[in-house]
Structure 1
Amino acid sequence: MSTEMTESVAAVSTTQDSGIVTSPELYNADLAPTKREGRRWSAYSIFTLWANDVHSLGNYGFALGLFALGLGGWQILLALGLGGVFLFLLLNLSGFMGEKTGVPFPVMSRISFGVRGAQVPALIRGVVAIAWFGIQTYLASVVLRVMIVALAPSASTLDANDVLGLSTLGWISFVGLWIVQVIIVSYGMEMIRKYEAFAGPTILITMVALAVWMLSKADWSIAWTTPDSLTGGAMWSKIIGGASLWVAIYGTFVLNFCDFTRNAKSKGSIVRGNFVGIPLNMLLFGGIVVVLAGGQFKINGKVIESVSDIVQTVPNTFLLVMACLALLILTVAVNLMANFVAPIYALSNLFPKVLNFRRAALVSAVIGLIILPWNLYNSPDVINYFLGGLGALLGPLFGIVMADYWLVRRGKINVPDLFTMDENGDYHYAKGVNPRAVAAFVLTAIVALLLAFVPAFESVSEFSWFIGAGLGALVYLAVADRKGPFRDVSGEPIAIASTH
C-alpha cells in the first residue's frame, strides 16, 4: 500500500474511531489537526525560518534602499529594530493559534469566515504566493546563470537567444531550480524543516563573511551617512515609515505562520525561536546592511542597490561561485517557506478529496511555471496592480482573523467543528459563509486598495498594512456576533501524527 493511501486510510479510521463525523470536502490528512505528541518544530526550527527569510535578497534590497533614501547607519538599525519588535508581537499572536489548534491557515480561516467562506482568504494568499514562487525562482535562476558562465565561459553562447522570454541557458537554470524545489517539497513539511535548518547557518556565515570582506576593502571603517542624509522630522518620518514597510513585507507570513507552528512543540518554542530569529537576527541583518552600504560608499561614493552588486565584484572565481551557491541556497529556502507552503494548503483546502500535500505542491509548481513569471516580473502593471492589489488585501484579512480569534472568541475554538458541514456546527453560519466577516472584508478591502493606488494617499501609503489591519479588526468587532457561547474543544480525537 502506498504512503498516500496509508495516510488517507489512517485519517478515515481516526475520525471513525473518535465518533466525530468529519465531512470529506473539508478534511484530509494534510488539513487535519496535528497531534501534540510527536511535534518536531523546536525553537531552533522557528529560528532557522527567520535566519533564511530575514536575509533574503529582497530584504537586502529594501534595507539598502533606506540608505539611498537618506537614512544613516543608526537610523537604519532603529527602523529595522522597531519593525522587528512589531513583528515579534504579531507573529507570536499568529503562531500561538497554530500551536493550539494544529491546523493550517485555510482551516484557521474557517473560524471567522465559515467552512465555505474560508476559501476566499486562502485563495488570495495562495494566488499571491504562487506568482511570487515563480518570480523568486526566476530571480534565483539569474544567479545560477552567472555561476554557470563563471565556471564554463563557453555556456554564454546559450544565453544569446530568446524562447518565450528566456534564453536557452535561462530555461536550463529556471527548470533546474524548479525541479529541485519540487523534489524538496514533495517530501512534505519535515523535509522543508530539515532544509531550513541546513540553510539558516549557511546564510548567516556567508553574509557575515561578505560584510567582513567589505570592511577589509574599506580599511576597516565605513561611511555612516551620505551627504544627502535626512535630519529632523523628515528623518523620523522615514524611520517610522521604514519600520512600517518592514512589517508590511511580512504581511503574507504573519497571516499563514500557523502553517508552520501547527507542528511546534510548545508556545515557548515559538517565543524563543521568534525572539532570536526576529529582533536579534534583524539587528544582525541591519548591521550587515550598514557595513555593506557604508563600506561601498566610502570606497567609491556609490550607493549599492543589492547584494548582487557586491557579489559580482568578488575577484576570485572560486569565491564568486561559493557566494552564488549561498545565494541560491538562500533563495530556495525563502521560496519554500514563503511562497510554496501557502498555495499547497490553499489548493488542498479547495480540493481535499483529490489533492494531498504532494499533489497540491506539483499543481502549484506547474502553475508557477506556465505563467512565465519572468514576464510578470518585467511588467510593472502586473507587479503594481495585480500582485500589489492582492497584497493590499492581506492587512484587512489579518485584522479580521486576529480580532475574531483573540477578541471575540478569546481563543476558544471548537476544532472538530472546523471539519463538518453540519448546519449546527459552530462555523457553518449561513450555508458555510459568515456574512459579517465577508462584509467587514469587502468594506476594508476597498479602503486598502484606495490607500495602495490613489496618489492622494501617497503620504500614508507606507502605513497601509497597519491601517488595513486596524480597520479590518475594528469593523469586524463592530459587526461580529458576540453572543456565543464559544466552545473550546480539542482536535486531538481527529488529529493525525505530525510527520509532514
Structure 2
Amino acid sequence: MASATAFPVQRGELTGVGLEPGLYNADLAPVPLERRDWTWVNMSTVWMGMVHNVVAYETAAGLMALGMNAWQAIAATAIAYFVLFFAMWFNAVSGTRYGLPFCVLIRSSFGPRGAQLPVLVRGFVAIFWFAVQGYAGSEAIDAILGTLWQPWTTFTLSILGLSLHGWISVALFWLLHGWIVSHGVHRIRNFELVAGPLVIIVGVMATIWGLRVGHGLGPLFSQPSHLAGSKGWMIFATGVTGLLGTWCTFAVNIPDLSRFVRSERDQVLGQLIGLPITAVVFTLMSVIVTSATVIVFGKPIWDPVALLLAIGHPAILIFGGITIVVATLSVNVAANIMPACYDLVNLFPRRLNFGSAGIAVLVIGLLFFPWLWFKNADSIFKVLSAIGGVLGPVTGIMLADYFGLRHQHYDVPDLYLYDGRYAASGGWNYAGITAFVIGGLAALSGLFVPVLASLYAFSWFIGVAVGAIVYLTLSRASSTA
C-alpha cells in the first residue's frame, strides 16, 4: 500500500480553484496532513464512547429473548463486532489515505450526481438515530431533575404528546449536543477522549456491584440455552445480523472519522481496541449487572434508567443519570451528528458548513417527534435494521471500487468535477446505482418472499457480497473505470 505522502493533494494543495462549487467546500476538502492529528488513543476512545450507550446495554436482553444463554449472547456479540471491525478497517483505508469523507469518496462508484442517493439514505438514518438516542438521553435528564426537585414531575401539560417537563428535558439535551458540535470535529474528539473512559469506569463500578450482589457471575450465567438444532443456529445467525444492523450504517461512513487519523496503524489499532474488544467487555458488564437485578428485584431490569429508578437512591440516580447522559452524547455526536453534518454539507456545499449543518440536524431531528417513535421501539429497530440492510451493498460497492476497480488509487480533484473521470454518464454511474438496488433487494428478499425467509438471517452479508459482485461485473463490462 502506498504511503500517504505519495499524493501532494494531501498536504492541502487542493484549493478549490477550477472545481465545481456544488461539489466542493472547506469541509468536503481533503484534510491536510498537518491537521490529521488523531492517534490510536483518540480513535479507540471515540469508539468506546459510541459502543457504550443505552441501546448497546439493552442488546443482551434482545439476544437472550431469542433463547440464547449469557455465553451465547457474548459469543454473538464477539462475532458481529469482529466482522464489523474488518469491514470498517478496510473501508477506512481510503479515508485515512486521502483525508476524504464518505460523501466525497462515494462519488467514485455512484458518480457525483448519483452519489446523492446513498448519501440521502445514510443521512436520514443518522438523523433518525440521533433523534431516538437523544430522547432516550433526555429521559435520564428528566429523572435527575425529578430527583433534585420534586415539583418537577407536576409539569404535566401535554404538548404534541410530550409533557412539559419532558419538553424541557429534551431542550436541555439538544442544547448540550449543540454545545459539543459548535466547534466542529476537534471538540467532538476532545469530548470523546473524556467520555469513553468515563463510561468504562462507571461500568466497572456497576460490574463490581453486580458481582458482590450475585456472589459471583450470578444466575444468568447458569441459565440453559433454548437454542437447538439447525433452527437454533438460524436464530443465532439472526442475532448476529441484528447486531450488525445496529452499526453497519457506520461501516459505510467510517471515512468521516478515519480522515483525521494520522496513520493506517493508528486507525486499525484504535478500532480494534475501541470496537470489538470494548463491545464484548461492555456486553459482559451488562449481563453481570442484569444478573444482579434478578437477585435484588426478582426480575431482570435491562433499561438502565429503570434500574436507577428501582434502586431509588438519589445520589446513585444522579450519578448514574449523568453517566447515561454522557454515554448518549458520546454516541450521538460521533455516530449520528457527524455523518449527518457531512451529508447535509454535501447536499448544500454553498450554503452549509459543518457548524450550520449541525444546527440543521438538531432541528430536523426534533421534527421526527422521537418520543412518539420511542413508545414503539420494536418498529424503530425493524425499520432501521431494514435500512441498515439496504446500506450493506454500499459497503460492498465501496470496497469493490477502491480495492478491486481503482486499485487503491483515486484522482482526488476529479471527485469534485461533474465531467471528470468519475462522471460516468452525466454524473450518474449506473453500475453503482444498479448494484445498490439489486444488493438491497437481495438483502431484504427474506422479508418479502416466504421461501427465502431464512436468508434474512444473513441479510447484511448478502447485501455486501451482491453489491460488490454486481458492481464489479457491470463496471468492467461497461469500462466506466
State if a TM-score over 0.5 links the two structures: yes
Q: Tell me, in whole angstroms, the C-alpha distance in 2 between the residues paired with 1:301 and 1:385.
A: 30
Match of 1:5 in 2: none
Residue identity matched to 1:202: L
Q: Answer whether contact 1:76 1:290 (CA < 8 A) is retained.
A: no
Q: Determine if contact 1:64/1:293 at 8 Å carries over to the other structure.
A: no
**1:437 is aligned to 2:441:** no
- In 1, Cα distance between equivalents of 2:213 and 2:366: 41
Which deviates the most, 379-388 or 276-285? Answer: 379-388
Paired residues of 1:64 and 1:289 also in contact (CA < 8 A): no
Deviation at 1:443, TM superposition (A): 2.0
Q: Is 1:397 the equivalent of 2:394?
A: yes
Tell me whether 161-170 or 441-450 shows the greater mean CA deviation: 441-450
- Cα distance in 2, alignment partners of residues 382 and 281 from structure 1: 28
Report the equivalent of 1:189: 185
Conserved in 2, the CA contact under 8 Å of 1:67 and 1:293? no
Q: What is the aligned partner in structure 1 of residue 198 from structure 2?
A: 202
Give the structure 2 partner of residue 489 of structure 1.
none
- Deviations 1:20-61, CA, capped at 9 Å, x for gaps: 621111110000011112312110111012211222111121
Once the two structures are TM-superposed, the CA of residue 245 in structure 1 deviates from its matched residue by: 2.4
1:97 equivalent among 94, 98, 122: 94
String of CA shifts for 1:54-107, please: whole Å, max 9, x gaps: 221111212222223332232222222212221221110111121011111110
Equivalences for residues 140-289 of structure 1 within 5 A: 140-158=137-155, 160-223=156-219, 224-226=221-223, 229-231=226-228, 233-289=230-286
Q: Aligned partner of 1:91: which letter?
A: M
Partner Cα separation in structure 1 for residue 27 and residue 229 of structure 2? 52
Q: Alpha-carbon deviation of 1:410?
A: 1.8
Residue pair 2:345, 2:353 contacting (<8 A) in 1 also? yes
Q: 1:306 to 1:382 in 2, by over 3 A?
A: closer
Tell me which amino acid in the other structure corresponds to 2:457.
Answer: E
The code of the aligned residue for 1:213 comes to W
- The equivalent of 1:22 in structure 2 is 19
Instruction: Kindly state the Cα deviation for residue 236 of structure 1 after the two structures are TM-superposed.
Output: 4.1
CA distance in structure 1 between the aligned counterparts of 2:411 and 2:477, rounded to whole angstroms: 16
TM-superposed CA distance for 1:257, in Å, is: 0.6
CA distance in 2 between counterparts of 1:476 and 1:52 reads 34
- Residues 306 and 379 (structure 1), Cα distance of their counterparts in 2 relative to 1, 3 Å cut: closer
Provide, for residues 256-281 of structure 1, a one-character-per-residue CA deviation record: whole Å limited to 9, x for no partner: 01001100010000111011112321
C-alpha change, 1:250 and 1:388, in structure 2 (3 Å) is closer
- Residue of 110, 123, 141 corresponding to 1:126: 123
Aligned pairs for 1:25-36 within 5 A: 25-36=22-33
Deviations 1:313-337 (A, max 9, x none): 3342111100000000000111111
Match for 2:473 among 456, 478, 490?
Answer: 478
Write the deviation string for residues 372-394 of structure 1: whole angstroms up to 9, x where unpaired: 22223335796367545433311
**Cα distance in 1, alignment partners of residues 154 and 93 from structure 2:** 53
Q: Is the 8 A contact 1:203 1:326 kept in 2?
A: yes
Q: Is the 8 A contact 1:15 1:22 kept in 2?
A: no
Stretches of structure 1 lacking an aligned partner (at least 5 in a row): 1-12, 487-500
**Structure 1 counterpart of 2:60, which letter?**
A
Comparing 123-132 and 458-467, the one that deviates more: 458-467
On the 8 A contact 2:43/2:271 being kept in 1, the answer is yes
Could you tell me how far apart the structure 1 residues matched to 2:217 and 2:146 are?
34
Whole-angstrom distance in 1 between the partners of 2:417 and 2:311: 58
Match runs of 1:489-500 below 5 Å? none
| Shift of residue 460, structure 1, vs aligned partner | 3.1
Q: Which secondary structure does the structure 2 equivalent of 1:481 belong to?
A: helix
1:111: which partner in 2?
108
Structure 1 equivalent of residue 9 of structure 2: none
CA distance in 2 between partners of 1:294 and 1:379 (Å): 26
Partner amino acid for 1:462? A
1:210: how far off?
A: 1.0
What is the root-mean-square deviation in Å for CA atoms of aligned residues? 2.3
Q: Quick one: which amino acid aligns to residue 431 of structure 1?
A: G
Letter in 2 for 1:107: V
CA 1:417 to 1:402, structure 2 compared with 1: closer, same or farther past 3 Å? same
Residue identity over aligned pairs, in percent, reads: 34
Structure 1 Cα separation of the partners of residues 295 and 472 of structure 2: 52
Looking at structure 2, the residues matched to 135 and 471 of structure 1 have their Cα atoms a distance apart, in angstroms, of 31
Match of 1:490 in 2: none
Give the aligned partner of residue 442 of structure 2.
447
Change (3 A) 1:200 1:68: same
